[in-house]
A and B are shown apart, each in its own frame.
Chain A
């Protein structure tokens, strides 16, 4: 009896059958083009800081700082390459690959690489996967808060060209248009071995004196900034986050 009842009710459900309606009636669609999620009061200005904030932020643009010449710089570069302190920024799924590196199987410490909890003290920024617009803002801020010389390692396909999210409204396709990237590691996901290989590659780059990302950023500051501002809509931070 009860089963019958259930069956009858089940039959009543208006589950859509057949092919979907391709051209819906425009009257029922609603005028979505007028929807404004963030009006002027709610949205922060993209142009920069408010007067009030300007008092609290320093926004001097970065300068190009010339390296020393000769052996001294080489020595410093050697030291930099042998003491890579990671700012592990778990922007995407790739951050999970950093953990095995710290533990006994891969043990990055033996290569002079260790994690560090604050951008101020780190020298290498690992972007762990896809960067959405929202995280891009944080990436830029953290990158700028690192002290030069500083290096960026893009992890996974998403940082290279958007990877499987290439057509997402929210995933940045090319990381190097927003911050200078020294090494990309392809893969979705790359294994920790690949990550280690990338780090070794970075070491050689630094030792050869090619790890001048910070200077590159300073040189092309306008371009980077314009790119960043194009996607980051509510730019409520100074132009350079010291």
Chain B
């Protein structure tokens, strides 16, 4: 029993380390790619590490209250939980995490855990921009949840299971078996929803830096901010892994390292897509993005669902 727990702890640690480092580097490299788009040199790839270290290394911090203090903890717990309830690399015990505790629905709803905690922490800061950002973020969230939910439902209808592992398993045997190709409408709806989920342009009104100084975390600083940055990495990683598992066949190979490499390539491409869109489009207002998500993506999602149910 004890050894099982220790092994699991060790595996979890490894899994977390992999995703954390990978996601930080990914964020760094994407920032550099964006810089190239803008004709700049761009920050070093390892810049996110330095930022996080610096923030953890700040000497002072202020707290507005218990919820403010716990907000980033909730947020990080939400990110970690979302990641840990998913299998990352198909077929390896080391990377199956705690996916035995729940299925796709658990993952979808655990995303809310961090959102809620962060929103509460931001709320207690007393800064009006924080809840303003939160209200924008939550409003957008409900909007992109709908096409995303439709996409997920379509996949569930397609494969008759809610288990992520089984969904990945069903996509094995070549790229033609990926959901992206067997159920393209679901993929399109899901990938459009992912744009909103990643809060890049054109859906970045939540953190609009000039207008409402980065929105919810406007009062967050020092280690609190460090924690949020850590979460940003892990949570982004988790989301990309989720989308990879759902739409792009997951990552698997008989050698672990190759499997991880596949994961890296796929998630890199997914993130690249988000960044390309982000670099190309201006920002939507909140109501515009709500209307956007409830428009074409939702219709595509409904088509996906209807195609699967008949």
Contact = CB atoms under 8 A, between A and B. Distances in A.
Contacts of A242: 62
Interface stretch (B42-50, B94-102, B151-159): B42-50
Contacts of A82: 47, 50, 54
B209 A147 contact: no
B221 to A, nearest CB: 4
Contact of A147 (B210, B218, B222): B222
Interface in A27-85: 65, 67, 75-76, 79-80, 82-83, 85
A112 B210 contact: no
A118 B41 CA distance: 25
B274 interface: no
Contacts of B225: 120-121
Contacts, number: 82
Query: Could you say which interface size class chain A belongs to?
Result: 20 to 34
A209 interface: no
B42 A214 contact: no
A182 to B, nearest CB: 16
A110 interface: yes
Nearest to A215: B59
A120 B217 CA distance: 10
Contact of B54 (A65, A83, A103, A104): A83
A176 interface: no
B38 A65 contact: no
Q: Which of A82, A114, A118, A121 has the most CB of B within 10 A?
A: A121
Contact of A149 (B40, B42, B58, B220): B58
A109 interface: yes
Nearest to A149: B59
Contacts of A117: 209-210, 213-214, 218
Interface string B222-238: 10010000000000000
Interface residues of B, number: 30
A234 interface: no
Contacts of B220: 120-121
B61 interface: yes
Given A80-B54, A123-B54, A147-B61, A107 B42 contact: yes
Nearest to B225: A121
A148 interface: yes
B35 interface: yes
Interface of A: 65, 67, 75-76, 79-80, 82-83, 85, 103-104, 107, 109-110, 112, 114, 117-118, 120-121, 123, 147-149, 214, 242
5 contacts: A76-B54, A104-B39, A109-B31, A109-B40, A110-B41
Interface of B: 31, 35, 38-44, 47, 50-51, 53-54, 57-62, 209-210, 213-214, 218-222, 225
- Counting from the closest, the 7 A-B pairs by CB-CB distance are A117-B213, A104-B39, A120-B221, A76-B57, A107-B40, A79-B53, A83-B54
